Chain A
Amino acid sequence: EDQVTQSPEALRLQEGESSSLNCSYTVSGLRGLFWYRQDPGKGPEFLFTLYSAGEEKEKERLKATLTKKESFLHITAPKPEDSATYLCAVQIFGETSGSRLTFGEGTQLTVNP
């Protein structure tokens, strides 16, 4: 069964303290790995898609990387406005899977000023 596990569940950082969030996955055939940001009471906001091992993407203070078993979301010099839940999701190949995303449970990030 396809599985996505995110760690840690919660992370508290001081402003400017860089860190990484982890997403490990066990799937039959990865089509793409997605990172989303979700603020309380809102829908997930798309951040990145990664398709193959070794791929990296950056946006402002965020950088996502992908290996064959996991993805990391690196946050450099975070600010309080980066506080949110970060969700990882996978999409797999296969006729029965369609285009569904399978999500992890998320990492709740809090950045203190």
Chain B
Amino acid sequence: DTGVSQDPRHKITKRGQNVTFRCDPISEHNRLYWYRQTLGQGPEFLTYFQNEAQLEKSRLLSDRFSAERPKGSFSTLEIQRTEQGDSAMYLCASSPSTAAYEQYFGPGTRLTVT
């Protein structure tokens, strides 16, 4: 399978704990995006990388959220001091530079904060 992969698929954590998610984009894609989706809503943009550079961050991305893409390949999204409102599906997408407008999504990581 050469699609976008995300790990873990599901994460249950207690309020106040830190969590980290990983995204592996399609191999030749240099752009990577993180979105958050709650039940019944469309995905909301969080942040965007071109290669290893983080070029845009949404105001939704509070100080407790940090994302990295250290070598321009996989990316991690960390949430510190989780809150119940952080419960959502976290989606990663990637796109190639040649067709930069088409974003291909991974299966998502479902986070539940208890």
Contacts and interface: CB of A to CB of B under 8 A. Distances in A.
B108 interface: yes
Contacts of A36: 105
B40 A43 contact: no
B89 to A, nearest CB: 8
Contacts of B48: 98-100
Interface in A40-93: 41-46, 49, 87, 89, 91
Contacts of A45: 105
Contact of A105 (B41, B55, B91): B41
Contact of B43 (A91, A99, A103): A103
Contacts of A91: 101
A100 B45 contact: yes
Nearest to A43: B105
B101 A99 contact: yes
Interface size class, chain B: 20 to 34
Contacts of B58: 100
Contact of A89 (B31, B42, B110): B42
Contacts of B107: 42-43
Contacts of A102: 45
Contacts of A99: 31, 33, 48, 56, 95, 100-101, 103
A102 B45 CA distance: 7
Contacts of A46: 102-105
Interface in A13-53: 31-32, 34, 36, 41-46, 49
Contacts of A103: 42-44
Interface of B: 4, 31, 33, 35, 40-45, 48, 55-56, 58, 91, 93, 95, 100-108, 110
Given A44-B43, A46-B103, 19 more contacts: A4-B42, A34-B101, A41-B108, A42-B107, A43-B4, A43-B93, A43-B106, A89-B42, A96-B56, A98-B56, A99-B100, A99-B101, A100-B58, A101-B43, A102-B45, A105-B40, A105-B41, A106-B40, A106-B42
